[in-house]
Structure 1
């Protein structure tokens, strides 16, 4: 595994997902770590649990808003962002009708083919740099 789990508790949540959803969730997790690695302003990424879901924070730089991975209510896996941000809506506007969007809080995936890293990198980057970008646009 390229990115070891931060704790046994986080690993246990992934292990408890049904097989198909676990594979999708692990692909989303890898993508979050890959984007963080290639985005210097993110700093050290923290993996923890929030609301029982694997969550990804930027405590060192405070550059981003929390991204979470979990099971979607209607089935499948999802990546969640704080509903008070424009992370999901910006992504949805950029890629209209290409993914299943749940309001302003999640993008849902029903199969591994639904996860398109080239598109999702924008969503993850937007989430991990959310506060930095908001601060920059406010000062302009």
Structure 2
């Protein structure tokens, strides 16, 4: 893990840290399952960011009592996520999925959203990103 990213994770409360570490783990698992190559881990705007060649970056954050998955606001990602998963996920505008750090992670929809972000450049022209 990048030293700067490790320092950021260490600064979070334990309940948020465990959820964000699970999101990080899912990013790496999905990248491997989809044969997307190496995941670039870095800090963007002071938050952990993850990207692969075929994808759109995913940034992880924590504010208040919520964990966030941030996506590039000029993509169709969050609008597609909203259409597919509005019953199980909460959103902030066209840029983020919001997760209560104290509630269990809704893994199925989150994994699908991560997969769409990591494969975005391959599916961005498809209706509903090919789902």
Q: How many aligned positions are there?
A: 126
1:65 paired residue among 41, 52, 56: 56
What is the rounded CA distance, in whole Å, between the counterparts of 1:134 and 1:81 in structure 2? Answer: 14
* Displaced runs of 4 or more, over 6 A: none
Once the two structures are superposed, the pairs formed by residues 39-54 of structure 1 within 5 Å of their partners are 39-40=34-35, 42-54=36-48
- TM-score of the aligned structures, taking structure 1 as reference length: 0.83
DSSP-derived class of the 1:113 partner: coil
Q: What are the Cα deviations for residues 80-102 of structure 1, in whole angstroms up to 9, with x where unaligned?
A: 10111111111111012311111
Look up the match of 1:99: 89
1:76 correspondence with 2:66:
yes
**The 10-residue stretch of structure 1 (87-96 or 105-114) with the greater mean CA deviation from structure 2:** 105-114
Cα drift, residue 34 of structure 1: 0.9
- TM-score of the aligned structures, taking structure 2 as reference length: 0.88
What is the rounded CA distance, in whole Å, between the counterparts of 2:12 and 2:101 in structure 1? Answer: 14
What is the rounded CA distance, in whole Å, between the counterparts of 1:89 and 1:71 in structure 2? Answer: 21
Cα drift, residue 134 of structure 1: 2.6
**The 10-residue stretch of structure 1 (113-122 or 85-94) with the greater mean CA deviation from structure 2:** 113-122
Look up the match of 2:116: 126
Structure 2 gap segments, 5+ residues each: 127-131
8 Å Cα contact 1:23-1:112 kept in structure 2: no
1:34 correspondence with 2:26:
no
DSSP-derived class of the 1:12 partner: helix
8 Å Cα contact 1:67-1:127 kept in structure 2: yes
